[in-house]
Amino acid sequence: MQLAVIGTGYVGLVAGVGFADIGNDVVCVDVDETKIARLKRGEVPIYEPGLDALIETNVKAGRLTFSTDIATAIRAAEVVIIAVGTPPAADGSADLSAVFSVAETIGKNLNGFKVVVTKSTVPVGTADRIEERIRRHTTQPFGVASNPEFLKEGAAIEDFMKPDRVVIGSNNARALEVLRNLYTPLVRKSEDIHEMDARSAELTKYAANAMLATRISFMNDLAVLSEKLGADIERVRKAVGADPRIGPKFLYPGAGFGGSCFPKDISALIQIGQGVGHELEVVRAVESVNKRQKRLLFEKLRRHLDGALEGRTVAVWGLAFKPQTDDIREAPALVMIRELLEAGAKVRAHDPEAMDNVRAVLGDRITYCENMYEALEGADALALLTEWQEYRQPDFERVKRLLRTPTLLDGRNIWDPKALRALGFWYTGIGRP
Ligand SMILES: NC(=O)c1ccc[n+]([C@@H]2O[C@H](COP(=O)([O-])OP(=O)(O)OC[C@H]3O[C@@H](n4cnc5c(N)ncnc54)[C@H](O)[C@@H]3O)[C@@H](O)[C@H]2O)c1
Ligand SMILES: O=c1ccn([C@@H]2O[C@H](COP(=O)(O)OP(=O)(O)O[C@H]3O[C@H](CO)[C@@H](O)[C@H](O)[C@H]3O)[C@@H](O)[C@H]2O)c(=O)[nH]1
């Protein structure tokens, strides 16, 4: 099939190369000329494991190209996939200006039946509004569909190429058929493709993210309780997750959830509810617990130092919102670092992939260390915010020698409290005695 993917970010690039890899002809389009120029030179603008090799293979095979010419890409395509950003507006709702601008361009360039698919995360009812925008400019036939994306950053290719389920929502039978054909090579069985109306598909995306975020905030709330009661949340987590009705995934307490999706989609869902006069009370609590959780490590450190943070130095390991990505959107580390700077502390930071992105936001307000141990030199404490593999088993004797005071804040519960205390560290994690 001939596809145009509009928006070449985390989702558009992964979807574009994924569809190319199963034999489609794909043009990935973006308004960002620098990004497209880099992709044309063979550079990959984001860090996502396996993405560069897959792009190279498909470009070489002639199935994947990059362009800034949206109109030409639309005219050549049978299926146009909208994968532009839908960032939060000031009131927390999703900003749909990029989606609608693409819809208008599609309307102006329709030259025969096409399926217009929204992969971006958009509020319920957006498919109807896209249809209306396209119709303003054309009498040509087209079908609009919602096809939310469920990939996780860091595992994006695996998630896209082997999805647990695919959701396609449309009121147009021809559009549903085209999308069923497009996705059939990627699913194990036909029931993995869930066909529905567009509104249900749009809501499914928010429901899935809100459910996952609810599990995390619930566990983070219980972690605070656990610590006050002298219980160990890690034991509770494992035992609770052993119930097959609950399952073990997304129960890990930590320094709060970040990323470009959960925080933004939760506030958008609250707005969607309010728009129709329904207060989503559970989702509100998920959001407020997460805001509190992102400040938890900072508060613990402040208490430990009796409020004396001025002039102290804190080492931070992990800046990305999760391992295996360079994405720092809504990262808990940024919340902690900003609190530390405001309190007059200095920060020495390390991350295997995300330091350039942090430098673009914080400039020289913190010290960036190419080596994880270098970050510890002369620091009063080490805070771990992202559980990159290389932080799991550091040389703690060396850590102790380098730190001015042996203080550890484990924001992902990856270290052994008993062993570290035996080594002479002051250790605190999330919800552990
Ligand atoms: N990142 C994820 O893990 C993920 C997963 C599932 C769904 N989503 C959703 O997918 C959408 C895209 O997310 P992302 O993380 O890929 O965003 P991103 O910011 O990485 O990429 C969006 C791209 O769209 C481009 N763009 C903006 N306006 C455009 C226009 N008018 N025409 C062409 N290109 C334009 C931008 O230049 C950018 O390259 C969002 O709605 C997001 O909520 C993201
Ligand atoms: O048990 C857990 C699991 C995750 N997290 C945190 O939650 C955030 C999000 O993690 P994850 O879901 O793995 O990454 P994303 O790439 O943001 O993926 C989510 O958001 C995407 C965009 O909507 C969806 O497509 C995915 O299905 C959904 O998992 C990160 O800060 C994690 O550290 C926890 O604190 N505890």
Going by C-alpha positions, the residue among 105, 189, 207, 196 that lies closest to residue 147 is 196
In the 3-class helix/strand/coil scheme, how is the chain assigned residue by residue? CEEEEECCCHHHHHHHHHHHHCCCEEEEECCCHHHHHHHHCCCCCCCCCCHHHHHHHHHHCCCEEEECCHHHHHHHCCEEEECCCCCECCCCCECCHHHHHHHHHHHHCCCCCEEEEECCCCCCCHHHHHHHHHHCCCCCCEEEEECCCCCCCCCHHHHHHCCCCEEEEECCHHHHHHHHHHHHHHCCCHHHEEEECHHHHHHHHHHHHHHHHHHHHHHHHHHHHHHHHCCCHHHHHHHHHCCCCCCCCCCCCCCCCCCCCHHHHHHHHHHHHHHCCCCCHHHHHHHHHHHHHHCHHHHHHHHHCCCCCCCCEEEEECCCCCCCCCCCCCCHHHHHHHHHHHCCCEEEEECCCCHHHHHHHHHHHCEECCCCCHHHCCCCEEEECCCCHHHCCCCHHHHHHHCCCCEEEECCCCCCHHHHHHCCCEEECCCCC
Q: Find the catalytic residue in 261, 333, 379, 382.
A: 261
Is 29 within 8 Å of 69 (Cβ atoms)? yes
Q: For residue 257, how far is its CA from the centre of ligand 2 (angstroms)?
A: 7
Write out the two tokens for 130: 């896209």
Cβ neighbours of 22 (radius 10 Å): 15
The pick from 27, 30, 33 for probing ligand 1's pocket by mutation, whose C-beta has the most ligand atoms within 8 angstroms, reads: 30
Specify the ligand 1 atom closest to the Cα of 120.
41
Q: Ligand 2 pocket: which residues have CB below 6 Å?
A: 121, 149-153, 209, 212, 216, 250-252, 254, 257-259, 261-262, 265, 321-322
Q: For residue 101, how far is its CA from the centre of ligand 1 (angstroms)?
A: 14
CA angle 159, 269, 154 (to 5 degrees): 25
Residue indicated by tokens 């309780």: 225
Q: What is the pLDDT of residue 92?
A: 87
Q: CATH assignment of 206-291?
A: 1.10.1040.10
> In angstroms, what CA-CA distances link 191 with 14, 27, 180, 194?
23, 29, 11, 7
Q: For residue 233, how far is its CA from the centre of ligand 1 (angstroms)?
A: 36
Atom 43 of ligand 1, residue of closest alpha carbon: 121
Q: For residue 55, how far is its CA from the centre of ligand 1 (angstroms)?
A: 18
Q: For residue 56, how far is its CA from the centre of ligand 1 (angstroms)?
A: 21
Q: What is the pLDDT of residue 402?
A: 98
pTM score, whole prediction: 0.96
- Kindly identify the ligand whose nearest atom is closest to the C-alpha of 163: 2
Q: For residue 243, how far is its CA from the centre of ligand 1 (angstroms)?
A: 37
Q: Is 10 in the pocket of ligand 1 (CB under 6 A)?
A: yes
What's domain 2-196's architecture? Answer: 3-Layer(aba) Sandwich (3.40)
Is 27 within 8 Å of 65 (Cβ atoms)? yes
Q: Is 31 in the pocket of ligand 1 (CB under 6 A)?
A: yes
- Kindly identify the ligand whose nearest atom is closest to the C-alpha of 38: 1
Distance CA 132, CA 148 (A): 20
pLDDT by residue for the chain (433 residues), tens digit each?
999 999 999 999 999 999 999 999 999 999 999 999 999 999 999 989 999 999 999 999 999 999 999 999 999 999 999 999 999 999 988 999 999 999 999 999 999 999 999 999 999 999 999 999 999 999 999 999 999 999 999 999 999 999 999 999 999 999 999 999 999 999 999 999 999 999 999 999 999 999 999 999 999 999 999 999 999 999 999 999 999 999 999 999 999 999 999 999 999 999 999 999 999 999 999 999 999 999 999 999 999 999 899 999 999 999 999 999 999 999 999 999 999 999 999 999 999 999 999 999 999 999 999 999 999 999 999 999 999 999 999 999 999 999 999 999 999 999 999 999 999 999 999 999 9
Q: Exposed/middle/buried for 288, CB within 10 Å: 0-12, 13-18, 19+?
A: exposed
Atom 36 of ligand 2, residue of closest alpha carbon: 252
Q: Are strands 142-146 and 166-170 parallel, antiparallel or unpaired?
A: antiparallel
Specify the ligand 1 atom closest to the Cα of 150.
6
Specify the ligand 2 atom closest to the Cα of 258.
31
The pick from 166, 203, 222, 262 for probing ligand 2's pocket by mutation, whose C-beta has the most ligand atoms within 8 angstroms, reads: 262
Atom 7 of ligand 1, residue of closest alpha carbon: 149
Domain 294-428 class, CATH top level: alpha beta
Going by C-alpha positions, the residue among 62, 429, 81 that lies closest to residue 235 is 429
The pick from 47, 118, 147, 152 for probing ligand 2's pocket by mutation, whose C-beta has the most ligand atoms within 8 angstroms, reads: 152
Going by C-alpha positions, the residue among 326, 297, 299 that lies closest to residue 388 is 326
> Beta partners for 359?
none
Cβ neighbours of 165 (radius 10 Å): 12
Q: For residue 154, how far is its CA from the centre of ligand 2 (angstroms)?
A: 10
> Beta partners for 136?
none
Q: What is the pLDDT of residue 307?
A: 86
**Domain spans, the chain:** 2-196, 206-291, 294-428
Q: Is 86 in the pocket of ligand 1 (CB under 6 A)?
A: yes
Residue indicated by tokens 């205390």: 421
- Kindly identify the ligand whose nearest atom is closest to the C-alpha of 212: 2
Q: For residue 231, how far is its CA from the centre of ligand 1 (angstroms)?
A: 42
* Catalytic residue list contains 261: yes
Q: Is 260 in the pocket of ligand 1 (CB under 6 A)?
A: yes
- Kindly identify the ligand whose nearest atom is closest to the C-alpha of 250: 2
Q: What is the pLDDT of residue 181?
A: 97
Q: Is 8 in the pocket of ligand 1 (CB under 6 A)?
A: yes
